[in-house]
Structure 1
Amino acid sequence: MKLGGGWGMDDYTIIVAWVFATVGWVMNIFCIKNGFGKNIWDIPFDHIIKFYKYFNAFATIYKVQISLAKISVCLFLLRIFQSKAFRYIAYTLIGINAAVGFTWAFVDSLRCLPVHLTWLGWMDKYEGQCIDFDTAVLIHCLVNIIIDSVIVVMPVYEVSKLQLPLQKKISVGLMFMMGSVLTIIAIIRVAVFQRDKIAGNETAGLQPLMHWSAIECLIAVMCACLPASRTLFIHFFPNLRQSSSRRQYYATPSNTAFSKGRSNSKIVKSVSYSVDCAHQAEQHGGSMNSFVPLVEQDRKC
């Protein structure tokens, strides 16, 4: 099904992120079946070992998944905004997210040396070394909060420079600001982790952290898919298309000079592309293969 345009790298990336999120939920279920949420002294030894294996697998998957979801958002924004500064920042964020995901996945995979200490270290029978898990979690959370904040601010700032009616600016800006939900969840993860962690009783103390991490994985996918949701609604509710297609968002002659002097934002695809594509689809027999490109308003004057 094509709704509003062709597939891009952002679409393929978010599909992979969704697969990782699904696998993460499966790991969460396996952890629960092996005593996750209970006191460690109430769980059979073999279940504790399985719990640590599944938890470590989830932690590794989470790091990769959350980075992929944010890379998908950056790739989507690159399909919309064309200003050089914006694109430099977006590509930088893609590189940072890739580095963060790979680095922390590697750290979680080799958190202990020898590796079997990751699920056997709780017995205090084996020699080896493990990194400080609490510190690693807090650093990763802090990095994610900073990245989330930048990703949210970037498109909102670009939208504020476009010559759109105030109501439209607010609606589009709010759509992009939905990404701040991830920032809120990241902060909650830090808070519950600091509050509920229990030394020597990790099967109970880590439960809130894993709970919010699993939620964050799915919310990240939802936020990345949010811009396309309007097209989906219009596909199933055509009346929305008719009411929206009557609106005009181009600069009027009265503000042409203002557009020439003040607008520095370059955009090649409207975030309300579902409206334009629907209108164009009617003229071309209901078939569209790409997003409708828009150019700077001052070039039209």
Structure 2
Amino acid sequence: MAEFQELPTCALTCTITTLSASECELTDIACIKANKPLQDELSVCVRASCTIKESLTAKAFLQTLLGAPRRNKERIGTLTTLIAGGFAVLAFLLRVIARLPIHHSKWGPDDWIISLAMVFVIPLTICAYVLNQIGMGKDMWYVSFDHITQILEIFYFTELLYFAAIGLTKISILLFYLRIFPDWKLRRMIYGIIGACIAYMVVFIVATALQCIPVSMAWQKWDGEHQGKCLNLNAEGWASAIINIILDLIVIVLPMRQLKDLAMSWRRKLGVMIMFLGGGFVTIVSILRLKFLIQFAHTDNVTWDYLPVGYWSAVETHVGIIVACAPAIRSLTGNLRNRFFPKPTSQPSYYDDSTAHSSSKRSKGTSNSRNWGSKNGAGSRLSSLSTARGDKEFVQIDEYEMDVGGGGRLKADQRSTAEGSEEGSVNRSHTPYDDIEAAPLATTAAPIGRGVNGIMVQTDFTVGRS
């Protein structure tokens, strides 16, 4: 009986009243432990008779008295946050390296936006780590009252960082699409979706920031001792998660038709598609997050039930950063591979092997054939342009990083002159390989039997007619 003196008065009264109506004695701990309906009845009485803080104190006491295990998933949350966050930071750093001048890269709007997203992702990762150190992942009745308030306050600011990070990440990916896809219909759709992402961020950041009046109620209302008004946070959480999933799916599906029509081998096409479909994992994470949002709709154990929502939110932002950086990382690895493991040089050709072979035979008997050679036996450094107009996108995906310097992009009047010539004249502007950019279709598509818009060659090549 002496042990029960530690209970709050309201809880002690409930305990005595409930046990007196049962077959268990107050000192018969084994009987109380084995009688689950009795424990439930006691919990109902305590909740009805005590304040929230008194109820938590009573819960912790009874759980300890009955020898219940202490659940603790702090380590899961910590490791998940640190590992996913570490990979996200690494992916971003590799993207920055890929943009260095040594790689002849171009820093574009998508890079600025993903950098801005990292401004929110890094503090979000720090907040997620801190949450796990002060009680997130433990049962609420084992966490000090001050820490409960701190957890909810940090969680509040983490939500704001989350909405900013995922919105900016989507916008960065969409700006990358604008960088590589010239189709005007697709570009109009992309601009519309960018607008939707901006609206998503603004609406839910404002709604989350003003979820309670006064704002401090967002982390103080749990104890029932403060007065204020709050929105239906569960409805807001579900709405934001569902809209986020829809936007994720749109961003994933948007470039698939363009990628499907590329004139390349299925193996290479599949590799490019997989790179873009990496965003599907972000959608899966969003769905998992929604599942846990639904589960804690009416939770009375926030420090335990918020854990999966917290670390899945962090993982979603981290994976989003990794997916957004994947094309730049792909380009970087290709540049490094070509630099340290260069392929044997060969005669440049815009055609496949069989076409080039037959053309070389025809060149022996006709004065209209074109012979390509390099000065001093220098190897070809021409861009691997495709033989079909559809390959433009693949060229851009591989080489969109290449900067334009010294007039590398053909001017509009040059393009129109080349395209309008009835004789299919060829513009022989000398353009260094390193200056090739992901230009619109007309400037990058390779000739099919003749020049589409001009032949871009390095200055150490000569064009002659035999």
Scaled to the shorter chain, the TM-score interval is 0.7 to 0.9
Note the residue ranges of structure 2 that are not aligned, 5 or more in a row: 1-99, 356-386, 409-429, 453-466
Q: 1:169 maps to what in 2?
A: 269
Mapped to 2, the partners of 1:36 and 1:108 lie a distance apart of 20
Q: Which has the higher contact order (CA 8 A, sep 6+)?
A: 1
Q: 1:21 maps to what in 2?
A: 121
Describe the superposition over 1:44-65 as per-residue Cα deviations: whole angstroms up to 9, x where unpaired. Answer: 1211111111000000000000
Q: 1:232 maps to what in 2?
A: 332
Structure 1 position 106, deviation (Å): 1.0
Mapped contact 2:117–2:169 kept (Cα < 8 A):
yes
* Superposition map of 1:1-301 within 5 A: 1-2=100-101, 3-195=103-295, 199-238=299-338, 242-243=342-343, 267=393, 270-273=396-399, 288=434, 291-293=437-439, 295-296=441-442, 297=445, 300-301=451-452
When normalised by structure 2's length, the TM-score is 0.56
Mapped to 1, the partners of 2:239 and 2:317 lie a distance apart of 18
Mapped to 1, the partners of 2:197 and 2:315 lie a distance apart of 19
Describe the superposition over 1:250-288 as per-residue Cα deviations: whole angstroms up to 9, x where unpaired. Answer: 67699xxx968xx6x9759611117988xx9xx999x94
Mapped to 1, the partners of 2:344 and 2:246 lie a distance apart of 36
Partner AA of 2:283 in structure 1 = T
Distance 1:272 1:30, change over 3 A: same
Mapped contact 1:270–1:294 kept (Cα < 8 A):
no
Mapped to 2, the partners of 1:250 and 1:22 lie a distance apart of 46
Structure 1 position 192, deviation (Å): 2.9
Mapped to 1, the partners of 2:293 and 2:177 lie a distance apart of 32
Mapped to 1, the partners of 2:204 and 2:149 lie a distance apart of 22
Mapped to 2, the partners of 1:7 and 1:290 lie a distance apart of 15
Q: Mean Cα displacement is larger for which, 16-25 or 162-171? A: 162-171
Describe the superposition over 1:124-161 as per-residue Cα deviations: whole angstroms up to 9, x where unpaired. Answer: 12222211222111111111111111111111211112
When normalised by structure 1's length, the TM-score is 0.84
Mapped contact 1:67–1:101 kept (Cα < 8 A):
yes
Distance 1:204 1:249, change over 3 A: farther
Mapped contact 1:80–1:271 kept (Cα < 8 A):
yes
Mapped to 2, the partners of 1:240 and 1:249 lie a distance apart of 24
In proportion to residue count, which structure has more helix?
1
Structure 1 position 96, deviation (Å): 0.7
**Corresponding residue pairs, total:** 290
Q: What SS does the aligned partner of 1:271 have?
A: helix
